[in-house]
Amino acid sequence: MAADTPRAEMKKTLGLTGVTVNAMALIAPGAFLWITYQIQAAQSLPGSGESTALDILPGILFALVLAFLTALSYSELARVYPEAGTGSCYYFAERSFLDKENRAHHRWARPTKLVTGWAAHLFYWVYPGVMVSFMAILVAYVLSQFGLEIGTLGQLVIAGLFSIVVGYIAIRGVTGSTTTALVINVVQLVTLVGFSILAISYRFVNPDQATFVHDGAASVVLPHSLFGMLAQSTIAILILVGFESATAFGAEAKNAKRDVPRAVILALVIQGLFAYVIEYFAAGFSLSNKLVGTGADGATLSGLDAAVASSAPIGDLIRQIGDTMLGGLGFPIAIVVAITVALAILGTTLSAMNTGVRVTYAIAQDQEMPSVLGALHGRYATPHWAVGVMVVVSAIIGMAGTLSVVTLTGITLASNFGTFVLYALTCFIAFNAFVSRKDFSFVKHGIVPILGLVANITMLVTIFAMGFVGGGDAATESYIALAFAGVWGLVAVGYVVTRRPAARRQPAVETRSA
């Protein structure tokens, strides 16, 4: 490559809407309502075996409070470090120490950013693979409704192809990704509003004279037990992650100082506070004994028991209500909703991939990762080599996840391990960055990040403690997650320790004709 070859640079094309919809795509409430409702309905307290299913929505509301504590920390860091570009949390970690007047603090900059980068990669590089698994499972479910049974080999093929499709969109650039995310978000929100209206109407009309799981609206919203709410929040917090991904698009934001902090909060408000609360309220409000299913022993089940036994309880609920309210149209409506869920999974995977490769790009600029991962495509100005590697990693993880529920859950917990460590670190970094600044606010920069730090650590410990105490498959899943995280850490440390020292430089760039 000639020395005077022009360097490709990321283009500043995103306004507030663009940054926000990319973050909203990662939260994807339509996808998680379908994917996680069975897990939420089936959860019970370790030891006593007492069901926590009546506290699904209270758990989400409690988890939202914790998410907002972390979101506020991300937002404040993005406001004072608009130059972070794609570095996001990685950049914040370094600057929070290097900006200290006391140079004794500077020695902590590199280890802190390396640990933060490891946690970010464990989250953003494993999470797309989990979504790839979910897509393969969802496609197999939809096809099975038409009598087409897809075996293990078929799901492996679907996982590989889906990973390639997402990678292709990611390489084409953030503009195409944003358009895709915007369309998916609109379709998803419209579908969720439609489902919610139908479900709530069913409760009020009650054409079947059904007996409902919850006595009324208050029963859906208010906690039935403190432990039940806390236990449900360990699942709920997992479906709320993604708001922080807005901070990785700083290099492509037209006004990063203004729009990125706003996008972090807006994404969580729209998808978390608005969409999740409405849809989960509607699902709980309309769940009744008219939802029936078959248990493993062939017994007929109803209500929450039927939801636990079903691989797609929301699909079954839509079908049951649709058949009653809309003259037997439940099946086609359920299939349409399943398609929108597939679109939501596409958006989630794409957003996670875009976020992950951008953080990788920033780390590669520091030569803390192979420099090729910091190469930009000459035409699309995207880290295309990083995308290519992530496509392969996502396909492998996605294929492994389709082999068994235990493996998929273990991999999911590994991603969540990275998430909570990352969120806890970021809350600490926010406190560390502001505590010595003149604009330090006791509430906003003191109480909020400290509470966020404690909350994220508590959630992390609680999730794994419930797994180990529960024993059996739950313990196996926790061991898989910890082993995965450990190996991921060893690879990261191994590269940093064995690489040849070199001064920082700009990323390698490969130019291609337009």
Highest mean pLDDT among 164-168, 296-300, 364-368, 468-472: 164-168
The reported pTM is 0.87
Within a domain: 512: no
Task: Tell me how far apart the alpha carbons of residues 231 and 241 are, in angstroms, rounded to a whole number.
Answer: 17
Task: Tell me how far apart the alpha carbons of residues 411 and 445 are, in angstroms, rounded to a whole number.
Answer: 34
Classify residue 136 by burial, with Cβ atoms within 10 Å: 0-12, 13-18, 19+. Answer: buried
- As a whole number, mean pLDDT of residues 270-282 equals 92
Task: Tell me how far apart the alpha carbons of residues 420 and 411 are, in angstroms, rounded to a whole number.
Answer: 15
Classify residue 494 by burial, with Cβ atoms within 10 Å: 0-12, 13-18, 19+. Answer: exposed
Instruction: Give the pLDDT score at 175.
Output: 65
Instruction: Give the pLDDT score at 496.
Output: 78
- Cβ proximity of 286 and 62 under 8 Å: no
How many of the other CB atoms lie within 10 Å of CB of 266? 22
As a whole number, the mean pLDDT across the chain is 87
Closest CA to 187 of 317, 31, 59, 300: 31
Task: Tell me how far apart the alpha carbons of residues 142 and 138 are, in angstroms, rounded to a whole number.
Answer: 6
What would the pLDDT profile of 148-161 be if each residue is shown by its tens digit? 888 889 999 999 99
The residues with which 510 forms a beta bridge, in sequence order, are 377
Within a domain: 1: no
- As a whole number, mean pLDDT of residues 113-137 equals 91
Number of domains the chain contains? 1
Q: List the CATH number of the domain containing 336.
A: 1.20.1740.10
- Cβ proximity of 246 and 4 under 8 Å: no
Task: Tell me how far apart the alpha carbons of residues 497 and 491 are, in angstroms, rounded to a whole number.
Answer: 10
Instruction: Give the pLDDT score at 2.
Output: 38
Within a domain: 2: no
Cα–Cα distance list, 158 to 26, 133, 135, 311, 393 (Å): 21, 9, 8, 19, 15
Instruction: Give the pLDDT score at 174.
Output: 65
Instruction: Give the pLDDT score at 500.
Output: 57
Within a domain: 8: no
Within a domain: 91: yes
Strands 292-294 and 300-302, sheet pairing: antiparallel
Strands 509-510 and 376-377, sheet pairing: parallel
Domain range for 380: 16-497
Task: Tell me how far apart the alpha carbons of residues 239 and 412 are, in angstroms, rounded to a whole number.
Answer: 11
Instruction: Give the pLDDT score at 512.
Output: 37
Within a domain: 485: yes
Instruction: Give the pLDDT score at 242.
Output: 85
Within a domain: 509: no
Find how far residue 309's CA is from the centre of its chain. Answer: 25
Opening angle at CA 125, ends 121 and 129, nearest 5: 155
Within a domain: 328: yes
Task: Tell me how far apart the alpha carbons of residues 253 and 171 are, in angstroms, rounded to a whole number.
Answer: 18
Structure tokens at 426: 């970021």
What would the pLDDT profile of 188-230 be if each residue is shown by its tens digit? 889 999 999 999 999 999 999 999 999 999 999 999 998 899 8
Cα–Cα distance list, 248 to 244, 313, 327 (Å): 8, 35, 47
Identify each DSSP E strand in 351-390 by its residue range.
Answer: 376-377
Position 477 confidence tier, pLDDT thresholds 50, 70, 90: confident
- Cβ proximity of 257 and 270 under 8 Å: no
Q: Does residue 11 carry a pLDDT above 90? A: no
Q: Does residue 96 carry a pLDDT above 90? A: yes
Place of tokens 């290519």: 388
Structure tokens at 339: 């398609």
Position 378 confidence tier, pLDDT thresholds 50, 70, 90: confident
Which of the residue ranges 3-12, 65-74, 142-151, 327-336 would you say has the lowest mean pLDDT? 3-12
Task: Tell me how far apart the alpha carbons of residues 259 and 25 are, in angstroms, rounded to a whole number.
Answer: 17
- Nearest-10 Cα torsion for 93, 94, 100, 101: 180
Position 368 confidence tier, pLDDT thresholds 50, 70, 90: confident
- As a whole number, mean pLDDT of residues 336-340 equals 91
Position 494 confidence tier, pLDDT thresholds 50, 70, 90: confident
**φ and ψ at 45, to 5 degrees?**
-75, 135
Strands 292-294 and 509-510, sheet pairing: unpaired
Cα–Cα distance list, 111 to 88, 116, 215, 456, 496 (Å): 16, 9, 53, 21, 11
- Cβ proximity of 465 and 234 under 8 Å: no
> CB neighbours of 280 closer than 8 A, spacing ≥ 6?
33, 56, 57, 60
Instruction: Give the pLDDT score at 513.
Output: 33
